[in-house]
Amino acid sequence: MDYEALFRTGIDALKLEGRYRVFAELERHAGAFPKATRHGPNGPHEVTVWCSNDYLGMGQHPAVLEAMHTALDRYGAGAGGTRNISGNCHTHVLLERELADLHAKEAALLFTSGFVSNWAGLGTLAARIPDCVVFSDAGNHASMIDGIRQSRCIKRVFQHNSPRDLDRQLAEFGPDVPKLVAFESVYSMDGDIAPIAEICDVAEAHGAMTYLDEVHAVGLYGPRGGGISERDGVADRLTVIEGTLGKAYGVVGGYIAASRTLCDFVRSHASGFIFTTALPPAVAAGAMASISHLKASGAERARHQDRVARVRAALDAAGIPHLENPSHIIPVMVGNPTVCKQISDRLLDHYGIYVQPINYPTVPRGTERLRITPSPFHSDADIDALIGALSDIWADAGLERVAA
């Protein structure tokens, strides 16, 4: 078999469909977020980043950088291996305590990424609880889907954000059947928010555990940044809260927070924890500084919401179609993968604005979009430049506008 030809055919098919992914080569600059240098075909030039998941710019916060520099000088570059073999780094222990406190849980457990924390945490629970049935929201992230799949448990998918459909499906299984309801708080592509209290009501009525992914909410919502569950006062009702250190906290890593026994159970059984090198101590120190800062400071969250509201109002005034939702994620709807990529390329090449196109399989076909994520550091001038560029492109391409 000509394997190279097989690979080329697969890539060519993606290109023909208009969803071949091209990486923009960017160089972030400490202290200048959201500005970056793009290294493109015509040489380097400055761009404004409008699609970063470093939602609050904490990846360049002085307190985070100082903590990482100090830890790097004190502990060196790496953790040395797994936590079991190379020793349980004191910084990891302190970070897990910080995370447990954030979510008012007994304990927390660190992983190398948010994807891994879902894949390993959710997958381990589903696999190791005898005869467990997992009820998964139809909008769940790939990391949750992969974790459930690799557990080989019985899986039922309930309608997105529908407590009624969840209730109907849970009722099909008797009270003695172990059940786990897995869902997210803020859904990353549409920006909608789950009715957490109502889902907990249904789960509790059927004796089911709950597993909430707060990846796109931690740091951003709640008086201390504990996410939507903290904002809504329901964190205590959730069996497991999962989150990331790589988005609003600006570093990298993932975690689960739950009872001490549950975290120990996952620690003892999850291959994605046992057999992988631990986070570098400097990364853990930076995450701890970020979490600590955002527990005490609401200024970043307030400014962030102000910027989000201003972008939404400007899009409305310009007639640029975008999904209405109660979160910080602003999906500008295009509906065609080729056109979506063309808009993204033109923004980058001619306006110095970076917004990555979002195509299938990340979103369903026909719902292609530009996913805009304002930050506290986007100025009024940045917003005006973004809306002006989009308005020009919409006019030149004859794209449909919506009434203001």
Q: Just list the catalytic residues.
A: 247
Q: At what angle do helices 142-151 and 114-128 cross, to 10 degrees?
A: 30
89 token code pair = 């780094």
**Exposure string for 140-167, b = 16+ CB within 10 A, e = fewer:** bbebbbebbbbbebebbbbebbbbebbb
Tell me how far CA of residue 380 lies from CA of 49, 306, 307, 349, in angstroms. Answer: 14, 11, 8, 22
Cis omega (within 30 of 0) on the bond before 326?
no
CA 235 to the chain's CA centroid: 19
Query: How far, in Å, CA of 153 to CA of 142, rounded?
Result: 16
Q: Give the other-Cβ count within 10 Å of 41's Cβ.
A: 5
CB-based contact 240:121 (threshold 8 Å): yes
Query: How far, in Å, CA of 141 to CA of 119, rounded?
Result: 10
Q: Among 59, 88, 89, 63, which residue's Cα sits nearest to residue 76?
A: 89
Tell me how far CA of residue 345 lies from CA of 22, 23, 54, 356, 357, in angstroms. Answer: 10, 11, 22, 9, 9
Query: How far, in Å, CA of 38 to CA of 348, rounded?
Result: 9
73 token code pair = 């000088």
